């Protein structure tokens, strides 16, 4: 089984996707044609616009569907490899019914290497950096920048410095900006800063004035997680709590 | 602009991971009180281009001792280079010692080994 997906900008056309697929298969000496999926498939894929296709190559064959979800504007392709003669009867409809391309709570679960976070879908990923020992992901949403950090191995990074000094070095800030707290039972440092002396004029500044964040040390997994938020307007504590609560690292 | 020549990799990933790193016999290593290593190694005092030119006319460049200070993690990898463990073994050991994903440990360790190799501190057999 193979699944591919892509966010579609503008109008979706199954015909153009099919043509593109035909071109790819044609180059690989495979014949592709439209195909009517069985009723069990259509029932299982309720909520999607479904277009079936079948292909035949010199050594292999298969059938699949192009799915279009108007809610999240995602086009997905699911195809099953096989002889293609059974008309898809060998495929369990439960497999297709378990397919989903978005959550119903307007949140997105990001799962990257050993870290996971559930955040609002309005946060769009701006940049990411994967360096050994240091991961960084930046998201933007309506004037709020969210930066997630993950450092490892924590024991080596904290050999001759405390968590506050390490965080200050990583974020290039003064260690006195941070205060020590306990977060979910882990030793942590937190900060809430406002730069500038005219609060009402913050929105006219080109750079963010409000900074809030938290870094915590998960000793059992030898990792350090961090959340840093920047904004031009004051940040709500509940947003940081929600983000930190859903940010986790897996063993 | 001059195009930089693309060199084909000497070994594929699997072969490279199976190789055994060997320390150069010209290194003087000092283990410091904090467990970190200070390495001294001979290096040509002239630039690589002049060193090549001197070699062409049959002359040896002047040598001087260079120093490199390894940090805690680098020192741990250095200790793991015992002329018996392969690169893959070192990665596995490093990953389990620091509870790191193997892929992440692989990137870090191979990058470090490559740096040591470029300075002539180790070779791979």
Task: Indicate the pTM of the whole model.
Answer: 0.75
Asked if the C-beta of A143 comes within 8 angstroms of chain B's C-beta atoms, the answer is: no
Residue B35: per-residue pLDDT: 86
Q: Which residues of B touch A114 (CB under 8 A)?
A: 101
Reported as a single tens digit per residue, the pLDDT across A174-226 is 888 899 999 999 999 999 988 766 556 666 667 788 899 999 999 999 999 99
Contacts of A161 in chain B (CB under 8 A): none
- Interface membership of A221 toward B (CB under 8 Å): yes
Cα distance from N-terminal residue to C-terminal residue, chain B: 37
Mind telling me how many Å the CA of B93 is from chain A's nearest CA? 14
ipTM (interface pTM): 0.71
Give the C-alpha separation, B111 to B117, whole Å.
10
- A132 and B105: CB-CB below 8 Å? yes
Q: Is residue A48 pLDDT above 80, yes or no?
A: yes
- Which DSSP category does A175 fall into? G
Q: What is the pLDDT of residues A137-180, one digit of tens each?
A: 999 988 899 999 999 999 989 988 899 999 999 988 888 889 99
Residue ranges of A 112-131 with Cβ closer than 8 A to chain B: 113-114
- Inter-residue contact A48 to A69 (CB < 8 Å): yes
Residue given tokens 């940081």 in the structure block: A240
Residue A61: pLDDT above 70? yes
Calpha distance B108→A133 (Å, rounded): 8
Instruction: Please tell me the distance from the alpha carbon of residue A231 to that of residue A210, in angstroms, as a whole number.
Output: 5
Taking CB atoms and an 8 Å cutoff, what residues of chain B touch A155? 98
Cα distance between residue A239 and residue A235, in whole Å: 8
Per-residue model confidence as pLDDT tens for chain B (125 residues): 566 666 666 678 888 899 999 998 888 989 988 889 999 988 887 888 888 888 888 888 788 888 999 988 899 999 999 989 999 999 999 999 998 989 899 999 999 999 999 888 888 88
Per-residue burial over A3-20, b if 16 or more Cβ lie within 10 Å, else e, is eeeeebeeebebeebbee
For residue A142, what pLDDT is reported? 84
B93 touches chain A (CB under 8 A): no
What pLDDT does B2 receive?
Answer: 63
The pLDDT of residue B9 = 66
Mean pLDDT of chain A: 87
Which pLDDT score, from 0 to 100, does residue A199 have? 59
């Amino acid at each position: 089984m193979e699944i591919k997906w892509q966010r579609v900008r503008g109008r979706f056309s199954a015909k153009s996707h099919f043509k593109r697929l035909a071109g790819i298969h044609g180059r690989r000496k495979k014949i592709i044609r439209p195909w009517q999926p069985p009723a069990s498939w259509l029932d299982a894929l309720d909520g999607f616009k479904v277009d079936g296709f079948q292909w035949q190559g010199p050594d292999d064959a298969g059938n699949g569907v192009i799915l279009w979800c108007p809610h999240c504007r995602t086009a997905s392709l699911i195809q099953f490899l096989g002889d293609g003669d059974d008309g898809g009867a060998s495929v369990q409809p439960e497999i297709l019914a378990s397919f989903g391309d978005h959550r119903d709570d307007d949140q997105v679960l990001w799962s990257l290497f050993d870290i996971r976070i559930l955040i609002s879908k309005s946060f769009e990923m701006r940049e990411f950096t994967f360096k050994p020992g240091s991961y960084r992901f930046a998201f933007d949403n309506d004037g709020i920048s969210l930066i997630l950090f993950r450092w490892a191995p924590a024991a080596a990074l904290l050999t001759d410095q405390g968590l506050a000094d390490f965080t200050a070095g990583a974020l290039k800030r003064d260690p006195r900006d941070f205060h020590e707290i306990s977060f979910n039972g882990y030793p942590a440092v937190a900060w809430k800063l406002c730069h500038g002396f005219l609060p009402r004029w913050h929105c006219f500044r080109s750079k963010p004035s409000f900074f809030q964040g938290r870094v915590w040390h998960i000793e059992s997994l030898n990792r350090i997680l961090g959340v840093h938020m920047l904004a031009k307007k004051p940040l709500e504590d509940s947003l940081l709590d929600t983000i930190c609560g859903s940010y986790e690292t897996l063993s | 602009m001059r195009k930089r020549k693309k060199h084909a990799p000497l070994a594929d990933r699997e072969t490279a991971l199976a190789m055994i790193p060997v320390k150069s016999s010209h290194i003087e290593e000092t283990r410091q009180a904090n467990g970190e290593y200070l390495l001294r190694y001979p290096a040509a005092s002239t630039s690589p281009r002049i060193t090549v030119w001197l070699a062409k006319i049959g002359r040896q460049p002047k040598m001087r001792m260079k120093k490199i200070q390894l940090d805690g993690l680098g020192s741990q990898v250095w200790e793991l280079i015992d002329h018996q463990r392969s690169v893959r073994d070192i990665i596995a050991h490093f990953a389990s010692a620091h509870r790191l994903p193997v892929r992440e440990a692989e990137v870090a360790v191979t990058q470090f080994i490559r740096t040591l190799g470029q300075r002539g501190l180790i070779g791979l057999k």
